[in-house]
Amino acid sequence: MLQTLRDKTSGWIATIIIGLLIIPVGFIGVQDYLVQRSDTDVARVSVPPSWWRTAPSWWPASKLWETESITTDAFNDRFEQQRQAARAEQGEAFDARAFESAENKRAILDAMIDEAVLRMAAARDGLVVSDALVRETIGSIPAFQVDGAFNAERYRLALSTQGQTPAQFDRLVRDGLRQTLISDAIGASGFVTTTELDRLVRLLGEKRDARLVMLPPVAPPAAPVTDAQAQAWFTANAARYRAGLVRVDG
């Protein structure tokens, strides 16, 4: 049987089969077949390339998209940093169980996704933060100062307690400044349509006339109403009650 299979898959038939197999391998890549992948990403942010911003998201054009991944290690590091910061801020009031909630984890992940989006937007627009601005920003942080001046030893000690290196904190500050540039640019890009401007001008030029009439309060009865008086009044106006012409508030 094996000999028969070998005979049938030799010659031009085998060439055609091999040729058909080469096509998907060429598109997808040999590594997808030979390498066992183990994804450790908790989220991925993908955008079309800067040179083709209208690129569709379907394959194979999706292969050209730029992707930034948020790995499990990165999320765990951020989560631990947030935990330490919350414990230091809240002290004995810190609730470890509440901090471990799914809602809080989701909020931290959403914040990391927002940061990734802003980072990619800044990179696409070519925004660059100078080293001098990064140093100035770090030096202005009160936690790194002694007697109002930046102290390198205190800076390294503060970072070590947070499990960060100067290079990691430098990158964090740089990314934060780039994100601020993006946010400021979006905030400054607001515009008003001609219709809205015309309406605003008309509203500013309009005037209103108002009159106020002060009515004296109703004088309370000299004596309380007795049950007999109430019954007599109801009997005299029974027909109006049935017709719904009398309304009693109370």
Q: Give per-residue pLDDT as tens, 127-167.
A: 888 899 999 999 999 888 988 889 989 998 888 887 788 88
pTM of this prediction? 0.53
Q: Give per-residue pLDDT as tens, 165-180.
A: 888 889 889 888 888 8
Residue 168 phi, psi (nearest 5):
-65, -40
Q: Which of 129, 122, 111, 36 is nearest to 70 (CA)?
A: 111
Q: What is the DSSP string of 32-82?
A: HHHS-----EEEEEEE--TT-TT--SSTTGGGGSEEEEEEHHHHHHHHHHH
Cβ partners under 8 Å of residue 61, min gap 6:
55
Q: Give per-residue pLDDT as tens, 207-239.
A: 888 888 888 888 877 788 888 888 888 888 887
pLDDT at 211: 87
